[in-house]
Each structure stands twice: as structure tokens, then as C-alpha cells.
A and B are shown apart, each in its own frame.
Chain A
Amino acid sequence: MVEPITPTPIAGPLDDYLREVVQTLHTAVNQGMRRAADDPHAATPQIADCEEILSVIMAGEVKDWLGA
């Protein structure tokens, strides 16, 4: 009962893309947290960045992301 196991071609590129997205989001969040700690309304640009990035991910257009 030997069944060949072959990775999907998309596995690596999707992993790389999402890893970069997550890092970018964390950078924006951390910057926003520092700014909001000083002034509760100062993180507007970072929140806007997060909204923009997350809107792309929520749309889920994987082929566009990977240029496939």
C-alpha cells in the first residue's frame, strides 16, 4: 500500500507570501501600540495599514498574490 506523497506546487510560495504579510502586520501593530501608549488616538496610520493589508488577505485572491 504505497501511495506517492507529492507536495503541492503552491505550498512554498503561499507560505512565503503569508509569512511576509504576517511580519508586516506585526510591524504595523507594534508601531501602533507604541504610539497609542503615548497618545490614545495616535495610531490611526498604523490601523489604516492593518486594514489595507487585511482587506487583501480577506479577499483571498491567491492567484493575484502569487502572480500565478
Chain B
Amino acid sequence: MFSDRVEQNDLPKQHPEYLDLLRRVLAIQADCEIGGPHLYVDAMLPTAPTQIDQLVVARTAAEEIDHFRKFARLAGDIGVDTSYILSRPNQERYLEAFRGLITTWEDFAVFGFLIDRVGKYQLEEFAGCTYAPLSRLLEHPSRVMDEEAGHIDFGTTRTAEIAARGGDARDRVQKAVNFWYTTGLDMFGRSESHRAERYRHWGLKRRTNAEARREFIAEVNPLIEAMGLEVPDPVAGRKYL
């Protein structure tokens, strides 16, 4: 297992597979960061329930754009131009979670509750990873991690509030949870992924896909139950087991 601490100046000496995987993971992360705003800005900024909520949508988008900027800079510094990602259609995003549109407040809330939480798991992989500039971005104290935690808190609070209203509101948020829970579990990738093993071999990730997914389930299932919602079937509708 590779465990060196690689600075940018050391990259020319690294194995081609290390460079390929580093370039790939930076491009994917940049895509995910800007993918969120592309899902919800158009519909949610004008229609969020209150002006405070509208401003929260704008602030969340601003923070995700800033996260894109940081990953795009890391990628650009090693020769990867990710600017095409800014104008790429949603349908072409790396992860399926970012290929649609969010058009309801329930979906926006649950996206923060569940999908930003998956994002936290992905980002945690990089804290302490072998590429030092990437690790430093996510090591405590990390503004990126703090801002993602804020998105998760907002989504969790709003999801719980909607669920607590009962009736149609609860039904709508349960529907959103059903969709995003399945989508979120798929975001961790296949349990037997060869590429994920190579990321671990090169110290660019720590956990296996299955381990991270298991930890996510252990974290969110009690939260869903505490909201009085039903935990969806963890296998039904999944594409990447």
C-alpha cells in the first residue's frame, strides 16, 4: 500500500496509474460540487418557501461553486482543465444523482439531508490521503467540510420539519427520501469495484465502497426513523450493488 506524502512537485516522479487516478478523482469531485447547484438553483431559488430559504439556496450554491473552484484549481494545477464541467448538461454528469432536476422543496431538503451527507463521506476519504494538496483542503479545520456540514444540518432540519407536519407533507417527504436514499447508496459505487481498490492501493481513498456505504446506512437509518419516516429498502431500485 502506497503511503508517501506527495506534493505537486513530486508528481512527475509518480506512477502513471497514480496520476490517472488523481486526475480522475479531482475531475469527478469538481463535477459533483457544481452538479448540485445545477440541480436546484433554477427551480428552488425563485420558489423556496420564504426569503430566508431563498437566501439559503443562494448561499448553498455559492459555497458549492467555491468548492468547485477549489477542486478545479487543484486539477488545473496538474494539467486537468475542468472548465467544460461548468457548461456540461446535467445528463452528462459523472454521477446519476446529478443528472436530473430538483423542483420541489421536499427534494431540496432531502438532497441536503442525504446526498450532501454522501458527499461528506466522499470528502472524508481525502483527508489524510497521499496527495498532500488535496489532503490539506479537507483536513481539520476545513472550510469545505464545515460548509458541507451546514448543508447537511439544514437539509436534516427541514426534512424533519416537513415530516413532522404529517399528512400530505409527510407523504411527499417520504417519497423524496425513498428516491434519494436509493440514489445515495448507489453513489458509493459497486462493492466489488476494482478501481476503488486501486484508489485505496495508492492511498487516495481509505475505505472500501462497501465500508463507506455501511457506515452511511448506520448513520442515516436512525435519523430517518427518528423523523417518523420509513427506512427504504436498501436494495430495491439499486443500480450499483
Contact = CB atoms under 8 A, between A and B. Distances in A.
A10 to B, nearest CB: 6
Contacts of B69: 14-15, 18-19, 22
A60 to B, nearest CB: 3
Given A5-B8, A7-B78, A58 B41 contact: yes
B39 to A, nearest CB: 11
Contacts of B52: 33, 36, 40, 43
B61 interface: yes
B128 to A, nearest CB: 22
SS of B interface (majority): helix
B76 A22 contact: no
Interface in B41-69: 41-42, 45-46, 50-52, 54-55, 58-59, 61-63, 65-66, 68-69
Given A18-B68, A18-B69, A47 B87 contact: no
Interface of A: 1-8, 10-12, 14-15, 18-19, 21-22, 25-26, 28-29, 32-33, 36, 40-44, 46-47, 50-51, 54, 57-62
Contact of B12 (A3, A46, A62): A3
A3 B87 CA distance: 30
B78 A5 contact: yes
Contact of A29 (B11, B59, B80): B59
B230 interface: no
A33 B81 CA distance: 35
Contacts of B54: 43, 47, 50
User: Chain B interface residue count: which class?
Assistant: 35 or more
SS of A interface (majority): helix
Nearest to A7: B77
B70 to A, nearest CB: 8
A33 B56 CA distance: 9
Contacts of A5: 8, 11-12, 78-79
Contacts of A1: 13-16
B55 A36 contact: yes
Contacts of B65: 18, 21-22, 25, 57
B61 A8 contact: no
Contacts of A25: 58-59, 61-62, 65
B38 A58 contact: yes
A29 B53 CA distance: 11
B51 A47 contact: yes
30 contacts: A1-B15, A1-B16, A3-B16, A3-B19, A5-B12, A6-B79, A7-B76, A7-B77, A7-B79, A8-B76, A8-B81, A10-B83, A11-B73, A15-B69, A15-B76, A18-B65, A19-B66, A22-B62, A25-B65, A26-B62, A29-B58, A29-B59, A29-B62, A32-B58, A40-B51, A43-B51, A47-B45, A50-B45, A57-B37, A58-B41
A8 B79 contact: yes
